[in-house]
Chains A and B, each alone.
Chain A
């Protein structure tokens, strides 16, 4: 099994861009199409925003850990925050009629829609994202 590279950033949205840029450069180098790159960028932004806002609760003393591996076949990313976690099954489906006009709650749905695998662990404080290169 390939060992994942790791980047640890402060709990700050500007700092959270750094792993995104590193990963997307490798994605481009591995000839993923633009649609796949869009999907990876979107899912990673949703995961990082969730870690910053909901996991670490905007606490600047906390950190976000990103582990990743990019090959010509697939991208694997693990985003880990230092929060208490949550139950992703308790998040309502934002496409249901009664939730469509809510400003929040679309992040997890978008991750699941755009990626091949989205798996939460550690009580919800870690999420593993996988996108295959087809």
Chain B
């Protein structure tokens, strides 16, 4: 598990990084790469895309968040919406490579109870499916 950094130097003002959602369809899973800042102006896109992907016949969606530096509650809700749609089709959504600040957010909201979180994409792809 990644530890929350306890001390950081001020790095100056950092504006939002462009938010992107990249999707790769693999035989065993759909891999989604999130990058940039999932702010209030773009967050709705995440839920729309994940629900769309979770409605397709794929047993597994793996969301790699290594490049994601910010997400707010609408973005979190989008992940939950994708999770709910995936459960409807008995699929699963797994998360990979959360940055410490994002991991802390998931622990605070207890969304770690909904999603399995892995350190690497390979780990997420290799894990056994959860039971029905």
Contact = CB atoms under 8 A, between A and B. Distances in A.
B2 interface: no
A101 B70 contact: no
B7 A33 contact: yes
Given A103-B84, A106-B73, A16 B40 contact: yes
A100 B113 contact: yes
A61 interface: no
Contacts of A14: 41
Interface string B1-25: 0001101111111111000000000
B103 to A, nearest CB: 12
Interface of B: 4-5, 7-16, 39-41, 47, 70, 72-74, 76-78, 80-81, 83-84, 101, 105, 108-111, 113-114
Given A102-B77, A110-B105, 7 more contacts: A34-B8, A35-B8, A37-B14, A42-B72, A45-B72, A100-B113, A106-B109
